[in-house]
């Protein structure tokens, strides 16, 4: 009983009403079936009309309106014809039952669709309901729509961040799992940017808003996911066309069956043209009408896509349309940018090597380099300083004097009264310093020291490179396992660096030292190669950080932007957006898409298959109306349940 009340709680008024009518009609039908009414045909007919109208009055009304509006292939009209026909033929039970089961199917469909709508909005539960606006020292709860850019809002622990902004006060950790699928919380401090949709977990935050509510991340993502269904996939277009063609075709065949069946029988087999013959064929034709509703297929396909897109977004993968879901499932060539995609995009000191002849350890080399570069704003310089300070020592700038920057080469400074030069090979050549080449790949900063105004001698070097993401290699091998034929890296970086990265993560092909326009020509070439080798059905995807590769994202069959959280440009430019920058998400996205497409195909062929089987059996007189309506409703239930599976993507 509890279960029943729970079930009915979730139904809306219309659905509850329909459920009651179905139950009432079913009970009446059973009673009428048992009652011995065979001797009173008129009474029997009239009694059967009660459950018939109870369960089907709205269908009949709609059918009638359909006739007035010249909508002959309206499914209500067809159901009405089929059931009224059955009643006229004296098959009362079947007439009522067909209507009954048709309504059960409608009810089930409406419940299932409503339920998956709800579970997706639960998954996408990032819409903030309110914002705590601080005005003149007082905090007021307001609609996030009303908060202007530059306002101060307060976010308490447990609350959702309503609008993108910058923390002005407070420390806390944020849970971004609803946005990225990443469960590790992110620590924030004053000065950090935070994005709407994440949940404040520990401390009170005061935030200055930087965007309006509509422009904030959470609103953008929601809009994107909700509108994804509008870009229809090929299979959806196929189904829409099929539905438009299927219903009239079945109806005309039914008409043909009802007339030609008896005529052929009479003419070719010399059967008597009596009522029994005609009623048999009319019955078969009515069976056709029962199967003529294409709803099972029509509902299950968009439902599967909706589920797939919703499920993916809960994992931090935004797919901007059903059509992109299809392309994603067919990715055979994957072209990637290096910086920010395979590598982290931030420079780190990866090695410090001391020169062979000197009695100096690597810590000292790093220290001298960091001090010499202490005033430089170059990213290389700051990475050296970071590496030095990571040892827990503050950089003492007072030890440094007489700093002289040699543009494009490096820096010469006096540290603790000794002359230090730190820079690239060109600087060393300019100062006539002998140094050894490094077998490591990356940017090398050579360090030399000596007396002020005296000759300098080489003491060692610091290697700085862009770190490869920890999951890159794994992601590439998983991609290959998932059937991606070729992985290619395009980069503007120097060849030696690019090749070492490519080798380490296991890429098939690498093109380095490219200008942005070279990337476009390379992708065009690869598309041609893919079309020649894998056929035009296979897709080429380009993965980039979405910031300066918009033209490449646009010409690829599928553009994937990663690490897009907070970057509007990337979200605009790409077809598929990965909210965080984990390359493993690429494989996950492909797997989710494959699962979704598989479900769509299963549904299409299963539904069409069963319908055609029923049509053949019905035409042969093997399948009766009972079987037809069971098959019809059953197929829909199975297809809808199968479609709902697309929502579960946690472990694909």
Partner 1 sequence: MKKTYKIDVDCANCANKMEQAAKKTEGVKDATVNFMALKMKVEFEDGAEPAAVMQEVRRNCKIVEDDCEIFL
Q: Which residues are catalytic?
A: 337
In whole angstroms, how close is the CB of 244 to partner 1 at the nearest point?
Answer: 8
Burial of 623 (0-12, 13-18, 19+ CB in 10 A): buried
Check if the beta carbon of residue 188 is closer than 8 Å to that of residue 167. yes
Q: Which is nearer to partner 1, 506 or 634 (CB)?
A: 634
Binding status of residue 302 toward partner 1 by CB under 8 A: yes
Which of 373, 391, 390, 392 is closest to 382 using CA atoms?
373
Residue 226 makes contact with partner 1 by CB under 8 A:
yes
Q: Which is nearer to partner 1, 227 or 346 (CB)?
A: 227
Written as one string, the DSSP assignment of 175-236 is E-HHHHS--S-EEE-TT-EE-TT-EE-SS-EEEEE-S-GGGSHHHHHHHHHHHGGGS--HHH
Q: Residue 359: helix, strand or coil by DSSP?
A: coil
One of 29, 293, 489, 562 touching partner 1 (CB under 8 A): 293
Sorted by sequence, the CB contacts under 8 Å of residue 146 that are 6+ apart come out as 133
Q: What share of the chain is helix, strand, coil (3-state, %, to 5)?
A: 55, 20, 30
Q: How far is the CB of 362 from partner 1 (least distance, A)?
A: 60
Least distance in angstroms from the C-beta of 123 to partner 1: 13
Asked if 298 interacts with partner 1 (CB under 8 A), we say yes
Is residue 69 part of the contact set for partner 1 (CB under 8 A)?
yes
Per CB under 8 A, does 234 bind partner 1? Answer: no
**Does residue 240 bind partner 1 (CB under 8 A)?**
yes
Q: Residue 540's closest CA among 488, 581, 580, 494?
A: 488
The nearer residue to partner 1, 227 or 495, going by C-beta atoms, is 227
* Cα–Cα distance, 316 to 341 (Å, whole number): 16
Binding status of residue 71 toward partner 1 by CB under 8 A? yes
Closest to partner 1 by CB, 307 vs 316, is: 307
Of the candidates 482, 473, 471, the one whose C-alpha atom is nearest the C-alpha of residue 587 is 482
Mention every residue, 6+ apart, whose C-beta is less than 8 A from residue 610.
Answer: 631, 634, 635
For position 306 contacting partner 1 by CB under 8 A, the verdict is yes
To partner 1, the closest distance from the beta carbon of 20 in angstroms equals 17
What is the pattern of x (binds partner 1, CB under 8 A) and - over residues 98-137?
--------x--xx--x--xx--------------------
Q: What angle do CA 271, 273, 276 make, to 5 degrees?
A: 95
Query: CB of 562 within 8 A of CB of 585?
Result: yes
Contact 127, 529 (CB under 8 A): no
Would you say 144 or 310 has its CB closer to partner 1? 310
Q: Count residues contacting partner 1 (CB under 8 A)?
A: 30
| Contact map string, positions 362 to 391, toward partner 1, x by CB under 8 A | ------------------------------
Select from 111, 199, 299, 592 the one that contacts partner 1 (CB under 8 A): 299
Is residue 321 at the binding interface for partner 1, with CB under 8 A as the rule? no
End-to-end Cα separation, the chain, in angstroms: 36
546 binds partner 1 (CB under 8 A): no
301 CA to centre of own chain: 16
Does residue 294 belong to the site contacting partner 1 (CB under 8 A)? yes
Under the rule (CB under 8 A), what is the footprint of partner 1?
62, 65-66, 69, 71, 74-75, 106, 109-110, 113, 116-117, 226-227, 229-230, 232, 240, 243-244, 293-295, 298-299, 302-303, 305-306
């Amino acid at each position: 009983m509890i279960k029943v009340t729970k079930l009915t709680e979730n139904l809306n008024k219309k659905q509850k009403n329909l459920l009651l009518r179905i139950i009432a009609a079913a009970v009446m039908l059973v009673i009428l079936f048992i009652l011995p009414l065979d001797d009173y045909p008129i009474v029997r007919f009239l009694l059967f009309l009660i459950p018939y109208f109870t369960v089907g009055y709205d269908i009949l009304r709609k059918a009638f309106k359909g006739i007035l509006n010249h909508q002959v292939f309206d499914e209500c009209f067809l159901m009405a014809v089929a059931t009224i026909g059955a009643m006229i033929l004296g098959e009362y039970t079947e007439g009522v039952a067909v209507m009954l089961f048709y309504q059960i199917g409608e009810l089930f469909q409406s419940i299932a669709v409503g339920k998956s709508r709800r579970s997706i909005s639960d998954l996408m539960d990032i819409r903030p309901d309110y914002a705590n606006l601080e005005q003149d020292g007082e905090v007021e709860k307001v609609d996030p729509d009303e908060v202007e850019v530059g306002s101060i809002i307060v976010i308490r622990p447990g609350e959702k961040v309503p609008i993108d902004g910058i923390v002005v006060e407070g420390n806390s950790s944020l849970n971004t799992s609803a946005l990225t699928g990443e469960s590790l919380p992110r620590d924030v401090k004053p000065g950090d940017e935070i994005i709407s949709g994440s949940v404040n977990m520990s401390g009170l935050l005061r935030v200055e808003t930087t965007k309006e509510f509509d422009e904030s991340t959470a609103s953008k993502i929601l809009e994107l996911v909700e509108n994804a269904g509008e870009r229809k996939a090929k299979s959806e277009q196929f189904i829409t066309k099929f539905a438009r063609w299927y219903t009239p075709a079945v109806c005309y065949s039914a008409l043909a069956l009802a007339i030609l069946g008896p005529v052929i029988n009479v003419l070719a087999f010399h059967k008597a043209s009596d009522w029994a013959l005609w009623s048999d064929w009319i019955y078969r034709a009515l069976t056709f009408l029962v199967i003529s509703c294409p709803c099972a297929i029509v509902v299950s396909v968009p439902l599967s896509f909706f589920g797939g897109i919703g499920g993916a977004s809960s994992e931090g993968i935004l797919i901007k349309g059903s059509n992109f879901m299809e392309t994603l499932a067919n990715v055979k060539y994957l072209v990637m940018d290096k910086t920010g995609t395979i590598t982290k995009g931030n420079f780190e000191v990866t090695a410090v090597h001391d020169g062979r002849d000197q009695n100096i350890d690597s810590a000292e080399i790093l220290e001298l380099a960091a001090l010499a570069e202490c005033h430089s704003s170059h990213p290389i310089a700051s990475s050296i300083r970071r590496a030095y300070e990571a040892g827990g020592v503050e950089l003492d700038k007072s030890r440094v004097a007489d700093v002289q920057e040699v543009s494009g080469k490096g820096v010469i400074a006096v540290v603790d009264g000794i002359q230090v030069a730190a820079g690239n090979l060109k600087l060393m050549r300019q100062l006539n310093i002998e140094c050894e080449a490094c077998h490591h790949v990356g940017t090398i900063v050579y360090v030399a020291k000596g007396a002020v105004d005296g000759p300098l001698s080489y003491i060692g070097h610091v290697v700085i490179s862009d770190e490869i993401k920890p999951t890159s290699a794994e992601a590439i091998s998983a991609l290959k396992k998932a059937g991606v034929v070729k992985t290619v890296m395009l980069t503007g970086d120097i060849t030696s660096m690019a090749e070492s990265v490519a080798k380490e993560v296991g890429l098939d092909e690498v093109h380095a030292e490219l200008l942005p326009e070279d990337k476009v020509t390379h992708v065009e070439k690869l598309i041609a190669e893919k079309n020649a080798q894998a056929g035009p059905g296979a897709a080429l995807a380009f993965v980039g950080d979405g910031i300066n590769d918009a033209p490449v994202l646009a010409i690829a069959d599928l553009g994937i932007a990663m690490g897009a959280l907070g970057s509007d440009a990337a979200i605009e430019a790409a077809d598929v957006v990965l909210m965080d920058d984990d390359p493993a998400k690429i494989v996950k996205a492909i797997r989710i898409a494959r699962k979704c497409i598989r479900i769509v195909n299963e549904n299409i062929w299963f539904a069409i298959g069963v319908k055609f089987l029923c049509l053949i059996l019905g035409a042969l007189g093997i399948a009766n109306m009972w079987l037809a309506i069971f098959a019809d409703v059953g197929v829909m239930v199975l297809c809808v349940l199968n479609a709902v599976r697309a929502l579960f993507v946690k472990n694909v």
